[in-house]
């Protein structure tokens, strides 16, 4: 499953920097780049799967406006796509969501990062928080990632915690209603794990 493989700088210096996000100030060589400009560019790079360039653009946006929630959100998603940067991704998602609790894409990305970090309890908690607020959540920048993927990592996390009954319940309610297995037996648990793997090839 694609999701499973995912493999602040400035204080205000007067009205000039305070207005940086408005895109109206000009320097000696023309209009100044704003945080909003950098965020827009970052998402363009992200759409092209150029995650390193996207992260650099989002980082520049954060340098221009440390409180820009979507800049942290974009930096989180981009970091999550770059091997070795999961902790950085988690930090960005934490910051993004603390700045704007309606930033549901950050909450979704945070859930996926926690899953990759094998934080099963935290994965379930963050995922439940997202799904309570947005039951049919879909990642704005990559619509193929949606609530099905979130339920899948919740089911898998429950298996890692030994709660196969809950994993089976999630599969039957949200992912594949006809599926059934005996969650109390080794064979049935193997069937549940196989079904999660199969579903992982469908979603994400």
* 27, pLDDT greater than 50: no
Q: Are 71 and 62 in contact (CB under 8 A)?
A: yes
CATH fold group of domain 105-204? 1.25.40
Residues of the chain with CATH 1.25.40.10: 1-100, 105-204
pLDDT digits (tens, 9 = 90+) for 86-133: 999 999 999 999 999 999 999 999 999 999 999 999 999 999 999 999
Q: Cβ-count burial of 187 within 10 angstroms (0-12 exposed, 13-18 middle, 19+ buried)?
A: exposed
pLDDT digits (tens, 9 = 90+) for 51-87: 999 999 999 999 999 999 999 999 999 999 999 999 9
Q: Are strands 30-31 and 26-27 parallel, antiparallel or unpaired?
A: antiparallel
pLDDT of residue 95: 97
Q: Are 196 and 160 in contact (CB under 8 A)?
A: no
CATH fold group of domain 1-100? 1.25.40
């Amino acid at each position: 499953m694609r999701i499973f493989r995912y493999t602040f700088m400035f204080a205000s210096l007067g009205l000039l920097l305070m207005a940086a996000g408005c895109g109206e100030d000009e320097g000696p060589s023309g209009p100044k780049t704003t945080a909003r400009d950098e965020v827009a560019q970052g998402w363009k790079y992200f759409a092209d799967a150029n995650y390193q360039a996207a992260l650099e653009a989002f980082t520049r946006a954060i340098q221009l406006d440390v409180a820009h929630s979507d800049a942290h959100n974009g930096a989180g998603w981009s970091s999550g796509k770059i091997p070795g940067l999961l902790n950085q991704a988690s930090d960005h998602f934490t910051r993004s969501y603390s700045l704007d609790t309606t930033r549901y894409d950050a909450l979704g990305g945070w859930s996926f990062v926690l899953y990759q970090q094998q934080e099963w309890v935290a994965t379930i908690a963050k995922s439940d928080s997202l799904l309570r607020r947005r039951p049919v959540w879909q990642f704005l920048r990559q619509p193929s990632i949606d609530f099905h993927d979130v339920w899948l990592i919740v089911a898998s996390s429950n298996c890692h915690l030994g709660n196969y009954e809950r994993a089976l319940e999630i599969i039957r309610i949200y992912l594949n209603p006809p599926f059934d297995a005996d969650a109390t037996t080794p064979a049935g648990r193997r069937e549940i794990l196989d079904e999660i793997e199969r579903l992982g090839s469908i979603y994400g």
